[in-house]
Structures are given as structure tokens and as C-alpha cells.
Chain A
Amino acid sequence: MAILGAINPMLTVGLDGDNAWRLADYVKRDGYSALRRILESGIGQGDVINEVKKSVLRGRGGAGFPTGLKWSFMPRAFPGDKYVVCNSDEGEPGTFKDRDILRYNPHAVIEGMAIAGFAMGAARGYNYVHGEIWEIYERFEEALDEARAAGFLGRNILGSGFDFDLFAHHGYGAYICGEETALLESIEGKKGQPRFKPPFPASFGLYGKPTTINNTETFASVPYIINMGGDQYLEAGKPNNGGTKLFSVSGHVNRPGNYEVPLGTPFATLLEMAGGMRGGRQLKGCIPGGSSAPVVPGPTMMDCTMDYDSISKAGSMLGSGAVIVMDETTCMVKALERLSYFYYEESCGQCTPCREGTSWLYKVVHRIEQGKGRAEDLDLLSSVTTNIMGRTICALGDAASMPVQSFIKHFRDEFAYHIENRKCLVPVDVQRAGSGFFTATA
């Protein structure tokens, strides 16, 4: 099991690896009680949304937008079809929490979506699952069958007159579909190219109908919020940062995996839970919120707490809660090169600055890494990123730019060394040892 630790957990309470994901297990954990209570005790749509607002649950997908507020944007009186969509297209490098939620607690997502459907008057939902985690997509389909059979999905749920159908839709290898409007295009059977906003999905979403899209973890949190009350959920975290959150810790730690901790937990604590730095080496840098977040130098990171505000103050973003830990064996040029390749490869190709700019960034960083860098390259890179940022339909252009800017800002000397000496500052054998690949075997 890759949920390796927790402090005051909610989402991961009572999970027992692969053995407790089924409906019966979930019901034993008090599952579907929130939905049942809403439907049976006549709690109104507005009440549900208010509870979510009170919890200050912020979107767990990366943007951190207050969920209750988002739900309130849905035109509740709109007479036609409306949709709730779950974004489980988890492809942001470093992020692997939704996979574990779907794997170990899929019914929490289903219940959360059904509650959301009720609150916003939507009778149909889709969960868009990252194509690469196929086994988990299949498990989710199984969980859906269970929920349908038990009457938690379908027509007239629990005799309340409320109808809600939920289906799984799989991706097939496009990071951009994690962007909510690209995801909608993808469900519609098209290329995942983000839409210009406005109009926002709340007015023109899936099939042109009002739609709300939330992250897996966000939906999964909803039953817990309803059960414990919004105020208590908020208290579990810290002001403006309600609840607990799953952090995916990867890279140079002893125990990479998911950790559910209250927002506001010190980074040092999280690092300790993850077994500390591998081989007792020094933290060189950390990307605290998925690959799109700016890198934070080790010493700064050690002073942060894990919540939206603290990380923002450190010049980065909490994002999806993906903590990529890099120790002193890391060549920062190589690290950036790989990220730049990723954004170049995953650009949907729609907007000029992103389509052309991401490939330009990658080519220059690649050149530097190959020992063919030029003195003017660092200024060129920074200029190209400013020409991309804020000039595209979606945030991928920004996401591609921020690593470039932050890596150069914080590790400029290492880039300069690479350009001047045509090789890594960190010796190659040190880098190789750092990955632990060849020492892992007996």
C-alpha cells in the first residue's frame, strides 16, 4: 500500500490496502451515510453547498479554488441537463494521490459525486480516469456497478426521487486532459484542447450544459465534510486551508508514497514521515506542488508548512500536493530538461506561444544539457518564458515556464557552470548513485 502515513486522517481512515475498497467495507466505515442523511432528512441543496463553503475545502487538483463557491456558480434553476465531472486524470509529474483514493476508497468519490449532483441538481456525472492507471479504471467501474446495484446510483436513489447516474471515462495518454475544459472536450470525443473561458463550464460545460468539475480528492472529501460538519472539517486544517490533504512524496526520500496530514503540517514533519532523505543526503530543492510549481531551494523548503498560504509565500504553489524531493546528487539542468521535454511533448498544440514556445524552451535547455549552451541562453530562456506566460488559453504555458524560471533563478550557478564547462556540476557517477537503481538489487 502506498498510503504510508497519516496525521488525524479522514480519507484514509480504516483503509486496509487492497482489501477494503468494496462497497461493504465502505459502508462499514460509515460510507454512504452522508448521502443517505441528505436524501432522507430533507437537507436542501443550498444547505449542502453552505456546508461545503463552511469547510473551506479548496480544490485538491492544483488550483485550490474554494469548492463551495464553485458549486454555487451552477445555475441551480437551469431546467435542462447538468453534469458533475470528476477529474481523475492525474498526470502532473509527482502526483499520485488520486490513484490511491480510487484504488482504496472509490466509493468515497462516488458518494461525493452523488452529493454534488444532488446539491447542484445534476442527474449525470462522469469520472475521467487517467488512461495509464487502467487497473484502477476497471476497479472504479466495478465500484460503480456495486453502487448501482445497491441503489446509491441510478433512478430514485434511496426512494428520494433523486436520480443520479455516474459513469467512468478513461483517458489515453494526454496530460492536458487534466485541464478541466480539455477534459470536457475529451469526454465529448475530441482532442483534449482546452477551451477559451469565458464561457466557464458552470454555464457552458459538457455538451454545452452547465457543468462542475472537481478533483477526485475534493469529491472524496465531501462525505466527510457532510458527516463531521463544515466547521469541524475546517478546524482539522488551518484558517483558509480546511481539512486534511493527501501529499504525494516522491524522489529522494526513503519512503516515497502518499501521506494524509492536516493542512499546515510542517514540511519537516512530512519529510520525516516519508523516512527522511535517502542516504541521509541534503535536500537540494523541492517542488512542493507538482512539476508545474516553481522549485524551492532546500533550506527555504525546510521552513515551510504544507498549506496553500505558506508555500505561496515561499514563491511556489501547493498545487496538487505533489512533493518532489531532490537531493544533492541531482543535476538541476537535467531535471529541468526532463520537465521541459514533458511540457513540450504534452502541449496540445493549439495556442501559438505554447506550441512553439515549449519546444523552443526544451531545445535550448536540451542544448545546455548537451554541453552546447551559449552565454546568452539563460536570458533567452527567461525572455521566452515571459512571452509564453499569460498569453495562452490554458495554464500549460505557465506550467512550462515556471520550472524554467525557478530553476534558473535558484540554481543559476549550476546552469552557468553547465554552459561554461559543458558538463554537469554534479559528477555523473554521483547522479547515478543518487537514483539508487543499481544498488537496489541484491
Chain B
Amino acid sequence: MLTPESLKRIDREIAKYPADQKQSAVMAALAIAQEEQGWLSSEAIECVAGYLGMAPIAAYEVATFYNMYDLKPVGKYKLSVCTNLPCMLTGGVDAGEYLKRKLGIGFNETTPDGLITLKESECMGACGDAPVMIVNNRRMCSWMNPEQIDKLLAELK
């Protein structure tokens, strides 16, 4: 189900924890699986659970609890926009609206070409850089005024 490279990365995560605590690596393992496959199918969750010797439902609990996991397919790029209060005060909500208009989609929707999924997100811990957004859970983009957003969208094409 997962590539040998992904399993190797998961092994490195497992090694961080005591030998009888493999389950500790589940968050990292799910993130790695999602990175490889774009989203977390139930097969992927079950594969991770089996690899770590935990009940599939226990891994599913984790996958559904933390909101950076995607249990449905998303676009090639997932754009999470923080709209929480500090960001909102400095344009976070406006940035979200701007993106929606530009892309012609709402939050939790994907552009028809499958390129971009838009998500509204909670505090990313970077309020001083507001508005902030994250691309594919990995890359944080700061001070996203209209100009910066246009630049980002151009880059993501």
C-alpha cells in the first residue's frame, strides 16, 4: 500500500519512541501516508494501523481528530487560510474571500481542474505575519495581501 520510501520514513519515526510504544508514531505515519498519496484513504489508514500494530479504529480516531489530515481527496494544492481573530483583524477573512472570488470556489471545495482546494483554518501560530496561509500542510506563506496571493496562485498553476 505504501512505498518502501514511506515505510522507511515511518521506521525513522518509530525509532523516536520506546520499543513498546510504536503507536506514538501514528501521527507522523499518517502524515507521511498523506504526503505520499495526497489524502488518507481508509486503506492507507488501515495500512498504517497494521504497520504500527494498532486497531484500525484507533488510527481512524487519530486521523479524524486532527484537522490537517484529509480523509477525502483534495486538489494538487491544498490552501489553508487562517481566518482566526488576529488574522481576521489584519485581512485574513478578506484574503479568504479574495481567494474564493479568484478561484470561483468556496471553502472545502476544489477547483474544477483539480488544482486547488481551499480550506478555512484555525490559528497557525503566526499571527504577526497575518494574513497567513499554508500550502499542502508544509509551506507557510506570510503577509498574504492581494499581490502576494496573486503571485502564489501564479506559481501554483
Q: Which residue of B lies closest to A187 (CB)?
A: B24
Chain A 159-195 near chain B by CB (<8 Å), digits 1 or 0: 0000000011111111100000000001111111000
Tell me the bound Cα distance from A251 to B86 in angstroms.
5
Contact between chains at A435 and B91 (CB < 8 Å): yes
Q: Which residue of A lies closest to B91 (CB)?
A: A437
Known: A134-B138, A436-B90, A437-B146. A170 touches B126 (CB 8 A): no
Contact between chains at B89 and A435 (CB < 8 Å): yes
Considering only residues 99-157 of chain B, those with a C-beta below 8 Å from chain A are 121-131, 134, 137-140, 145-147
Contact between chains at A330 and B66 (CB < 8 Å): no
Tell me the bound Cα distance from A370 to B147 in angstroms.
31
User: What residues of chain B lie closer than 8 Å to A244, measured between beta carbons?
Assistant: none
Contact between chains at A324 and B89 (CB < 8 Å): yes
B2 in contact (CB, < 8 A): no
Contact between chains at A256 and B130 (CB < 8 Å): yes
Q: Which residue of A lies closest to B80 (CB)?
A: A132
User: What residues of chain A lie closer than 8 Å to B1, measured between beta carbons?
Assistant: none
- Contact of B28 (CB < 8 Å), options: A170, A207, A435: A170
Known: A134-B140, A189-B27, A190-B61. A441 touches B145 (CB 8 A): yes
Chain A 88-119 near chain B by CB (<8 Å), digits 1 or 0: 00111111101100000000000000000000
**Which of A41-49, A63-71, A335-343, A359-367 contacts the other chain?**
A335-343
Tell me the bound Cα distance from A249 to B128 in angstroms.
7
Known: A190-B61, A248-B127, A437-B98. A131 touches B137 (CB 8 A): yes
Contact between chains at A441 and B146 (CB < 8 Å): yes
A442 in contact (CB, < 8 A): yes
Known: A91-B122, A95-B125, A133-B126. A189 touches B25 (CB 8 A): yes
Contact between chains at B90 and A189 (CB < 8 Å): no
Contact between chains at A92 and B123 (CB < 8 Å): yes
B7 in contact (CB, < 8 A): no
Chain A 129-140 near chain B by CB (<8 Å), digits 1 or 0: 011111100000
User: What residues of chain B lie closer than 8 Å to A29, measured between beta carbons?
Assistant: none
Contact between chains at B21 and A250 (CB < 8 Å): no
Contact between chains at A91 and B137 (CB < 8 Å): no
Chain B contributes a number of interface residues (CB within 8 A of A) equal to 55
Contact between chains at B18 and A81 (CB < 8 Å): yes
User: What residues of chain A lie closer than 8 Å to B90, measured between beta carbons?
Assistant: 250-252, 256, 435-437
Tell me the bound Cα distance from A132 to B140 in angstroms.
8
Considering only residues 20-35 of chain B, those with a C-beta below 8 Å from chain A are 21-28, 30-31
A258 in contact (CB, < 8 A): yes
A434 in contact (CB, < 8 A): yes
A432 in contact (CB, < 8 A): yes
B41 in contact (CB, < 8 A): no
A231 in contact (CB, < 8 A): no
Contact between chains at A256 and B127 (CB < 8 Å): yes
Contact between chains at A250 and B127 (CB < 8 Å): yes
Contact between chains at B26 and A2 (CB < 8 Å): no
Contact between chains at A434 and B89 (CB < 8 Å): yes
- Contact of A207 (CB < 8 Å), options: B21, B58, B62, B134: B21
Contact between chains at B89 and A96 (CB < 8 Å): no
Contact between chains at B91 and A189 (CB < 8 Å): no
- Contact of A134 (CB < 8 Å), options: B17, B137, B147: B137
Determine how close the nearest CB of chain B comes to the CB of A358; give it in whole angstroms. Answer: 13
User: What residues of chain B lie closer than 8 Å to A287, measured between beta carbons?
Assistant: 85
Contact between chains at A435 and B127 (CB < 8 Å): no
Contact between chains at B125 and A99 (CB < 8 Å): yes
A316 in contact (CB, < 8 A): no
Contact between chains at A435 and B123 (CB < 8 Å): no
Contact between chains at A440 and B66 (CB < 8 Å): no
B3 in contact (CB, < 8 A): no
Contact between chains at A171 and B27 (CB < 8 Å): yes
Q: Which residue of A lies closest to B88 (CB)?
A: A338
User: What residues of chain A lie closer than 8 Å to B122, measured between beta carbons?
Assistant: 91, 93, 173, 175, 342, 345-346
Q: Which residue of A lies closest to B31 (CB)?
A: A172
Tell me the bound Cα distance from A106 to B129 in angstroms.
20
Contact between chains at A99 and B130 (CB < 8 Å): no
A196 in contact (CB, < 8 A): no
User: What residues of chain A lie closer than 8 Å to B86, measured between beta carbons?
Assistant: 93-94, 250-251, 322, 324
User: What residues of chain B lie closer than 8 Å to A90, measured between beta carbons?
Assistant: 125
Contact between chains at A191 and B65 (CB < 8 Å): yes
Q: Which residue of B lies closest to A178 (CB)?
A: B125
In the assembled complex, 18 residue pairs joining A and B whose CB atoms fall closer than 8 Å, in A order, are A2-B128, A2-B129, A93-B122, A96-B125, A131-B137, A169-B24, A170-B28, A172-B69, A175-B122, A188-B21, A188-B23, A248-B127, A250-B86, A251-B89, A338-B83, A342-B122, A435-B91, A438-B146
Additional pairs, 7, CB under 8 Å, beyond known A133-B126, A188-B24, A435-B90: A92-B123, A94-B123, A135-B140, A170-B28, A171-B66, A172-B66, A251-B89
A residues with CB within 8 A of B: 2, 81, 90-96, 98-99, 126, 130-135, 167-175, 186-192, 207, 248-252, 256-258, 287, 291, 322, 324-326, 330, 334-335, 338-339, 342, 345-346, 348, 432, 434-438, 440-442
